[in-house]
Chains A and B, each alone.
Chain A
Amino acid sequence: MENDPQPRLVDELQRMQREELLPIEKKLITWSIVLGIVLLAVLTWASYTFFPGQ
């Protein structure tokens, strides 16, 4: 291989192997969303209480 051609997106995607979701990935996703929803309530309250903006 004297000149390696640039990898093409279509080839890369075809070569991709399917990988099952690991428990740690599920945990990461779940915790992230749960934390997001809990913080949404806390931060909304903090915003309107301490930084009314007008």
Chain B
Amino acid sequence: MASWRSLLKSEDWMSLWLGLFIFALSMGLLAGIDMLGWAVKTNVWTSFTQIVEPVSKGYAGLGGLGSLLLTFLFLLVIMTVAARGLEANVRRFAAGFVVIFAASYLCWVAGHFAYVAATPDKLDKLGISWSLNLTGEAGYILALLAGLVVGNFLPRTASRIAEATKPELYIKTAIVIMGAGLGVKAVEALSLASAVLFRGLCAIVEAYLIYWAVVYLVARKYFGFSREWAAPLASGISICGVSAAIATGGAIRARPVVPIMVSSLVVIFAVVELLLLPFAAQVFLYKEPMVAGAWMGLAVKTDGAAVASGAITDSLVRAKALAVMGVEWKEGWILMATTTVKVFIDVFIGVWAFILAILWCTVIERRPGEKVRVGEIWERFPKFVLGYVGTFAATLALCLAFPHLVAAAKTASGEANVFRHLFFAMTFFTIGVVSNFRKLWEEGIGRLAAIYAICLFGFIIWVGLLISWIFFHGVTPPVVGG
């Protein structure tokens, strides 16, 4: 019974079910039933009437506001059901979700303002002479900034929406949905897709072996951290932020306070990276788009921030390449590189935690009679990855087996993508809300922040860039119309 309950109680499992539910609804199109066509599509706009419309022409009668209302109600219902499964306070969750959805969506809409978002090829069509060329994904940055304002200056509001402030739940659900879209893309360029998967795996093996060891050495030798602090810190800084710090803390039997404090630092630095690295990638890596994507996966910590930065990088880099080189790469491939790398990182956390657990309990802190179960790898395995891989493989297999379904599968993934964007926007907003810089500063963050900053900006980012370069340079997404 207990194990069945865990299929609902953890955010990890819940994100898997939510993502699969939306994926299943979208796949109705393969049987000719459009079950998500009413979802709201947000356009780049110059006047209010252009902002929203249903994603499918078949639901045009609903109008933009009708589809927005339906989308909101749909998400409110499924997320509240999820909150009930997670044993959250349902009323508080629903109230918080309303605020989070509204704030995130407003930012998403603001980011689509033509003078902010329009790419050079769309200026004439929109009747404007200039724009910041940031694409609609600028809405994510606005959502992050709005969340930071709430988290740092409006503590009462942050506390009122705390029950629904779940960035990991939102991003993991989005990642499961994203698998289907990437599966359809992979059909168009199988060789490239297999290269991204294999090279992503290679990049991760490298990152684990080099990152962790060096950060652990620096923390132990030069900053005098104890083993209890150094191991979660090394995992948090070098591997995958929060989940890695917690898994490592559990593996070496650190006190719970250690990974928790490391995690709060991870989130803060992830926000800094999220605000800097995609723009750096746009300036310096627009000729090497897949390097840029993999770099986000290797350098930016936490699933939410990494995949989110991959989404922004995807848009920024493609927009710059179009503006400077006149090359229009297909959307989603850069994000695929980021997601692939990030997902492999998550998969390996369990393996790495297992290795550390064996080392710690058999040699470093020898405990007589204590054994590490292989089952712990599964317990630490991020379950939402099953959804990502499952939707990716299912869509890919379907499209390969029945090529006449590719067009319907593309439309289906486009409809599901509406929800991916919304979950992304809510991820950005809630990451901002949980990033309380002031609180950490008051707690005396200095020494921990120093090692984090030194390792991250002096080493991790650059080695990540080098590894990304080695495995992804010269690889480019397919060209639109190519």
Contacts and interface: CB of A to CB of B under 8 A. Distances in A.
A21 interface: yes
A16 B206 CA distance: 31
Interface stretch (B65-73, B175-183, B211-219, B338-346): B211-219
Given A9-B444, A39-B205, A47-B199, A29 B475 contact: no
B61 to A, nearest CB: 45
Interface residues of A, number: 34
B209 interface: yes
A30 B210 CA distance: 10
B155 interface: no
Contact of B470 (A9, A13, A40): A40
B424 interface: no
Contacts of B192: 53-54
B221 interface: yes
Contact of A53 (B191, B359, B440): B191
Secondary structure at the A interface, as helix, strand, loop or mixed, is: helix
Interface in A8-23: 8-13, 16-19, 21-22
A17 B445 CA distance: 18
B237 to A, nearest CB: 15
A16 B225 contact: yes
A21 B220 contact: yes
Given A18-B224, A21-B221, A46-B202, A12 B261 contact: yes
Nearest to B446: A10
Given A13-B444, A25-B220, A44-B471, A19 B227 contact: yes
Interface string A37-50: 10110011011001
Indicate the member of B220, B224, B447 with the most A CB atoms within 10 Å: B220
A40 to B, nearest CB: 6
A13 B448 contact: yes
A36 B229 contact: no
A1 interface: no
Of the four ranges (under 10, 10 to 19, 20 to 34, 35 or more), the interface on chain B belongs to: 35 or more
Contacts of A17: 226
Interface string B168-211: 00000000000000000000000110111011001001101110
A24 B366 CA distance: 12
A8 B444 contact: yes
B229 A16 contact: yes
A51 B199 contact: yes
Given A8-B444, A36-B213, A44-B471, A24 B364 contact: yes
A21 B403 CA distance: 59
B443 interface: yes
Contacts of A13: 444, 447-448
Interface string B445-482: 11110000000000000000001001100111000000
25 contacts: A8-B444, A9-B440, A12-B257, A13-B444, A19-B220, A19-B226, A19-B227, A21-B220, A24-B364, A25-B216, A25-B364, A32-B209, A32-B210, A33-B210, A36-B206, A36-B209, A40-B470, A44-B202, A44-B470, A44-B471, A46-B202, A47-B471, A51-B194, A53-B191, A53-B195
Interface of A: 7-13, 16-19, 21-22, 24-25, 28-30, 32-33, 35-37, 39-40, 43-44, 46-47, 50-54
